[in-house]
Chains A and B, each alone.
Chain A
Amino acid sequence: MHFVTGGAYNGKGEWVEKQYGIHRASHFWYSAYRSSAPPEVENFTDIDGVIVWEGIEYWVKDVLTYSREEEIQQRVQQFLVDFAAWENSKRTRKVILIGTDITKGIVPVDEKDRLLRDVCGRVYQKMAKQATQMDIIWYGIAQKIK
């Protein structure tokens, strides 16, 4: 698993496209910006290759409108367990997670935004922990963290 983060509009998606030779129009590119749900492991039992889940902060924001943080953390945990197993069963399998870092601005006035920041930060910690690779993208330049 490869976790890719950085500020908004910093070219994270483009970097992943180049790095992995996968296009964002691909069926294996799940984007919360385009209202896609996250990939489900059941759909990939017989499929190898690279799966991208992009816009995690948008997904968190969306799910927070109808559920509590515990449920989100649980879904993320399940996702990570499922896809780690999927990846481990074949060498040609890989999951890329792309999430915008929204945790370094001023404290938001809106309570919902404060919660979003908190939840997002904790979700990213989980992802970073599970990931074997992590990069922070700064205007197209990658800084390898892990």
Chain B
Amino acid sequence: MARIIFISGGVRSGKSQLAEKLAIDRAHYHGKQLHYIATAQPSDKEMVLRIKHHQKHRQESGKKWMTWEQPRNVHQLATHYSSNDIILLDCLTTLLNNEFFYENRWSDYEFQQQIFKNLVQGIKELSSKVDTLILVSNEIFHDVISDEPLVLVYGKMLGRLHQKIVALADEAYLVDAGCLIQMKGGEEYERLNGRWNSL
């Protein structure tokens, strides 16, 4: 199985940039191809702007990214990749959103279990094909207690997903205000960390 790297952080914490850096660095170091799985759908003006911002940033990196727009069913991409590929998936939160709201069945326990199983399976399938799979997600677990069943169910699912992925991951990072905090694994950490801190 490939190396799985999990990166999570708050809004505007710089997690995407750091994840891109990590992917570029690994691609350069090991001579691999960069892929980007975009999960966001341009559903409104704000989302269109966010997507443009991310696209611009990847262009400016001067590296060749192959972009795959896949808002749902990421496992379908697995057949396209090989051990020569480094995949950055940004982000899990949006992916879960897209699966979660695809049908109006979020309150159905069976449906929730199915989504969870499919997401974990999809991630495993991707990682079985590639060199490295980098997964970006969001920290949304420090808010006051919600009375909304939708918010509770969604939070619980994302939390479970993060726990599962961190357990599978070789490296896991928390990003706070552009700083990378290593929570799990990674022999490359020391080498990269020095460089990242000086960015």
Contacts and interface: CB of A to CB of B under 8 A. Distances in A.
A61 B159 CA distance: 22
A61 B162 contact: no
Contacts of B155: 8-9
Interface string B157-175: 0111011011100001010
A7 B141 contact: yes
A139 B145 contact: no
Interface residues on B, range: 20 to 34
Interface residues of A, number: 26
A140 B167 contact: yes
A117 B183 contact: no
A58 B142 contact: no
B66 interface: no
- The interface centre, meaning the residue of B144, B183, B184 with most chain A CB atoms within 10 A of its CB, is B144
A103 B174 CA distance: 18
B143 interface: yes
Contact of B174 (A11, A57, A138): A138
Interface of A: 6-11, 14, 57-58, 61, 100-106, 108, 113, 116-117, 138-141, 143
Per CB-CB distance, the 9 closest pairs between chain A and chain B, nearest first, are: A9-B159, A7-B141, A105-B143, A104-B142, A139-B166, A113-B144, A8-B141, A139-B163, A139-B162
Given A9-B163, A117-B144, A139-B172, 18 more contacts: A6-B141, A7-B159, A8-B159, A9-B160, A10-B159, A14-B163, A100-B141, A100-B145, A102-B143, A102-B144, A103-B142, A104-B142, A138-B166, A138-B183, A139-B183, A141-B166, A141-B172, A141-B184
